[in-house]
C-alpha cells in the first residue's frame, strides 16, 4: 500500500514539474543562436554535420588548405554530439545551425532561431531534475513533508531555470546528469547491493564531465573519498564501481585525444583561456576587493551605486569597456601571458607558476566574493538559502549524516572550484538548487514543528 502511494506521489511530482514548466516556458525569451557561448557548440556540431568530425569550431579552429578544420578538443564532446544528433532529424534546426556557424565571428546575424527538438529534450531534462529534487529530498530526510517542501522551494527557481531550456548551452544537460549521480549515491547508501547504484553514479558523473570538463574534478574527488572509505570500511567493490563507471565513460574520448592530438585529457586550451580571465581579477586592490562584495550582490551593481556613486561597479561587470577586469583578462593579459609562456601549450603551467602559486593567499581571498556571486541563484532565492544550507551542512558534518553530505558537499566543492579557476557565474552552480531546497525545507520543517499544532510530528534535524 505504501509503495503504491509512493508511486502515485512520484507521478504527481513529475506532473507538477511538467505543468509548472509548461506554463512558464512560452514566456521565456528565445535568444539568437549566436548569443553568449551557444556558437561554440553549434559551430562544432555544424562541422560534425558536414562530415569533418569533432573540431574546435569556427571561432577557435583554423581550416587547412582544403578548407577543413582539423580535429580539436577545446570543448567536451557530449553537448555538440547532442546538437549534431538533433540536426539529423530536425531540418529547420540544421539550417539554423549552419547559418550560425557560417556567420560566427562576423557580427550579429539574422539566422533563424529554430531548435525545437533540442529545447524539447532540455525541457524534459529540467522536469526530470525537479522530480529528482523531490525524490532525493525524501530519501535523505525520511519525511514526506520535507520532501514536498523541498520540491515547492525548488520550483520557485523555475522561472529562472526555464530560460536555460531555450539556450543551446550545456547547463540543463549537466544539471540533470550530476543531480542524477547524486541521487544514485544517496540510494546506494540504503541499497542491499550498492555497487550497481554507484556504477550508474560514476557513469553519470563521467557523462557530466564530458559535458562540462570542470566536473572531472568532482569525479576525482569522489574517487579519492571512495578510496579513503574503502580503506576504513573495506567496501572495495561498491566504491570501485563508481570509479570504474566514470572511467569507462571518459576513457574513449581521452584516448582519442591522446592518440590524435597528443593530450590525454578531456579538453585542452579552454582551461587556461578561462583561468587567465579569473587571474585578471587578482589585480584588484583591497578597496576594490571590499567593493566586489557589494557590486556582486543579487541586485547587480545597485547597492554599490547607491552607496558610493554611479559607475563604481563598472570594473567588475561584463561590458566591453577596456579597463574592466574581465576585458583585461580577455585581451591584454591573455596576449601577454600566452607570449611569455611560449604558446598555448605552456600557458596553463605558466599561469600557475607566475600568477597563482606565488600569490595563493590573495587568490583565495579574491575567490571568496566570486563564490558568493556564484551562489546567488535566482537572486535573493540563493541569497536567503545559501547560509541556511551552510548551517545544515555543518550540522550534518558534526553528526556524521552521510546522506545529507552527499547532497550538499558536491555543490559546495564545485562552487569553490569555479570560484578559483573561472569568472564564476550563477549558471555554473545550478546544482546548488538541490541542497539549497532541501536545507530550506528542513529549516521550514523545524520551525513548523514549534507550532503547537505540529509539535512532536516533525522529524528532528
Tens of pLDDT, residue by residue over 110-139, are 899 999 999 999 999 999 999 999 999 999
Percent of the chain with pLDDT strictly greater than 90:
80
Q: Which residues of 100-137 are buried (b: 16+ CB within 10 A; e: fewer)?
A: bbebbeeeebebebbbebbbebbbebbbbbbbbbbbbb
Q: Which residue has the higher pLDDT, 255 or 8?
A: 255
The angle subtended at Cα 304 by Cα 299 and Cα 306, nearest 5°, is: 95
User: What is the C-alpha separation between 351 and 81, in angstroms, rounded?
Assistant: 31
CA distance 188 to 182: 10
For the residues of 232-269, what is the DSSP string, one character each? HH--HHHHHHHHHHHHHHHHHHHHHHHHHHS--SS--S
Confidence grade of residue 461 (pLDDT, cut at 50, 70, 90): very low
Residue 319: the pLDDT is 67
How far, CA to CA in Å, does 327 sit from each of 116, 127, 423? 34, 36, 11
Instruction: State yes or no: pLDDT of 457 exceeds 50.
Output: no
Best CA proximity match to 205, nearest among 406, 436, 425: 406
Separation CA 101–CA 94 (nearest Å): 11
CA 105/CA 34 separation, integer angstroms: 9
pTM: 0.94
Neighbours of 35 (CB within 10 A): 13
Please give the Cα distance from 207 to 174 (Å, whole number). Answer: 8
**Above 80 in pLDDT, residue 394?**
yes
pLDDT value for 55? 96
Q: What is the mean pLDDT of residues 169-182?
A: 98
Q: Which residues contact 29 (CB under 8 A, 6 or more apart)?
A: 163, 166
Mean pLDDT of the chain: 92
Task: For 437-456, write each residue's pLDDT tens digit.
Answer: 999 999 999 887 776 555 54
* Cα-to-chain-centroid distance, residue 460: 32
Only one residue has cell 596553463, namely 348
Burial-class residue 11 by CB neighbours within 10 Å (0-12, 13-18, 19+).
exposed
Q: What is the pLDDT of residues 332-376, one digit of tens each?
A: 999 999 999 999 899 999 999 999 999 999 999 999 999 999 999
Q: How far apart are CA 386 and CA 373, in angstroms?
A: 11
Q: What confidence score (pLDDT) does residue 458 get?
A: 45
Give the lowest-confidence range in 215-224, 268-277, 294-303, 393-402.
294-303
Closest CA to 349 of 428, 271, 278, 234: 271
Least confident segment among 54-63, 70-79, 166-175, 276-285: 54-63
pLDDT in tens, 279-332: 999 999 999 999 999 999 998 766 767 777 677 888 888 766 788 999 999 999
How large is the average pLDDT for residues 201-227?
95
Please state which of the ranges 160-174, 238-252, 426-440 shows the lowest mean pLDDT.
238-252
Whether residue 149 contacts residue 445, with contact meaning beta carbons closer than 8 Å, is answered with yes
Distance set, CA 305 to CA 22, 291, 297, 334 (Å): 37, 10, 12, 30
Rounded CA-CA distance 43/83 in Å is: 10
Answer yes or no: is pLDDT of 381 > 60: yes
pLDDT > 70 in the chain, percent:
94
Averaged pLDDT for residues 74-95 = 97
Q: What pLDDT is stored for residue 7 in this prediction?
A: 85
Residues 218-232 have pLDDT tens digits of 999 999 988 777 666
Count of CB atoms situated within 10 Å of the CB of 321: 12
Which tens digits make up the pLDDT trace of 411-432? 999 999 999 999 999 999 999 9
Sign of CA dihedral 29, 30, 32, 33: positive
Cα separation of the two ends of the chain: 27
Amino acid at each position: 500500500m505504501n509503495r503504491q502511494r509512493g508511486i502515485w506521489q512520484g507521478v504527481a511530482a513529475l506532473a507538477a514539474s511538467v505543468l509548472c514548466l509548461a506554463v512558464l516556458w512560452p514566456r521565456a525569451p528565445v535568444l539568437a543562436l549566436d548569443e553568449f557561448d551557444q556558437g561554440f557548440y553549434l559551430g562544432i556540431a555544424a562541422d560534425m554535420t558536414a562530415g569533418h568530425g569533432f573540431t574546435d569550431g569556427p571561432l577557435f579552429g583554423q581550416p587547412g588548405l582544403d578548407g577543413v578544420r582539423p580535429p580539436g578538443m577545446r570543448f567536451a564532446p557530449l553537448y555538440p554530439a547532442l546538437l549534431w544528433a538533433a540536426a539529423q532529424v530536425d531540418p529547420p534546426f540544421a539550417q539554423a545551425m549552419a547559418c550560425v556557424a557560417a556567420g560566427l565571428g562576423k557580427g550579429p546575424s539574422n539566422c533563424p532561431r529554430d531548435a525545437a527538438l533540442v529545447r524539447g529534450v532540455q525541457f524534459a531534462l529540467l522536469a526530470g531534475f525537479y522530480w529528482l529534487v523531490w525524490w532525493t529530498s525524501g530519501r535523505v530526510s525520511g519525511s514526506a513533508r520535507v520532501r514536498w517542501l523541498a520540491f515547492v522551494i525548488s520550483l520557485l527557481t523555475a522561472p529562472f531555470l526555464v530560460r536555460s531550456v531555450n539556450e543551446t548551452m550545456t547547463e540543463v544537460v549537466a544539471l540533470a546528469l550530476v543531480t542524477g549521480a547524486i541521487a544514485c549515491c544517496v540510494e546506494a547508501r540504503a541499497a542491499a547491493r550498492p555497487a550497481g547504484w554507484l556504477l550508474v553514479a560514476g557513469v553519470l558523473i563521467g557523462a557530466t564531465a564530458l559535458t562540462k570538463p570542470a566536473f572531472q574534478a568532482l569525479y576525482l574527488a569522489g574517487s579519492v573519498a571512495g578510496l579513503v572509505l574503502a580503506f576504513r570500511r573495506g567496501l572495495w567493490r561498491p566504491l570501485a564501481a563508481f570509479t570504474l563507471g566514470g572511467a569507462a565513460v571518459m576513457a574513449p574520448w581521452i584516448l582519442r585525444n591522446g592518440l590524435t592530438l597528443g593530450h590525454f585529457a578531456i579538453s585542452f586550451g579552454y582551461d587556461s583561456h578561462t583561468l587567465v580571465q579569473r587571474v585578471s581579477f587578482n589585480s584588484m586592490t583591497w578597496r576594490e576587493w571590499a567593493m566586489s562584495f557589494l557590486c556582486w550582490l543579487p541586485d547587480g551593481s545597485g547597492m554599490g551605486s547607491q552607496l558610493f556613486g554611479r559607475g563604481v561597479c563598472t570594473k567588475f561587470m561584463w561590458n566591453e569597456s577596456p579597463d574592466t577586469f574581465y576585458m583585461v583578462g580577455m585581451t591584454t593579459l591573455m596576449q601577454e601571458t600566452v607570449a611569455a609562456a611560449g604558446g598555448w601549450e605552456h600557458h596553463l603551467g605558466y599561469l600557475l607558476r607566475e600568477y597563482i602559486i606565488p600569490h595563493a593567499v590573495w587568490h583565495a581571498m579574491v575567490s571568496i566574493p566570486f563564490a558568493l556571486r556564484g551562489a546567488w541563484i535566482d537572486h535573493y532565492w540563493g541569497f536567503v538559502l545559501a547560509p541556511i544550507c551552510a548551517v545544515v551542512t555543518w550540522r550534518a558534518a558534526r553528526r556524521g549524516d552521510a546522506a545529507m553530505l552527499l547532497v550538499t558537499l558536491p555543490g559546495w566543492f564545485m562552487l569553490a572550484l569555479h570560484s578559483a579557476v573561472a569568472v564564476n557565474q550563477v549558471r555554473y552552480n545550478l546544482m546548488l538548487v538541490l541542497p539549497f531546497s532541501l536545507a530550506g525545507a528542513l529549516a521550514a520543517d523545524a520551525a513548523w514543528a514549534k507550532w503547537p499544532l505540529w509539535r512532536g510530528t516533525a522529524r528532528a534535524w
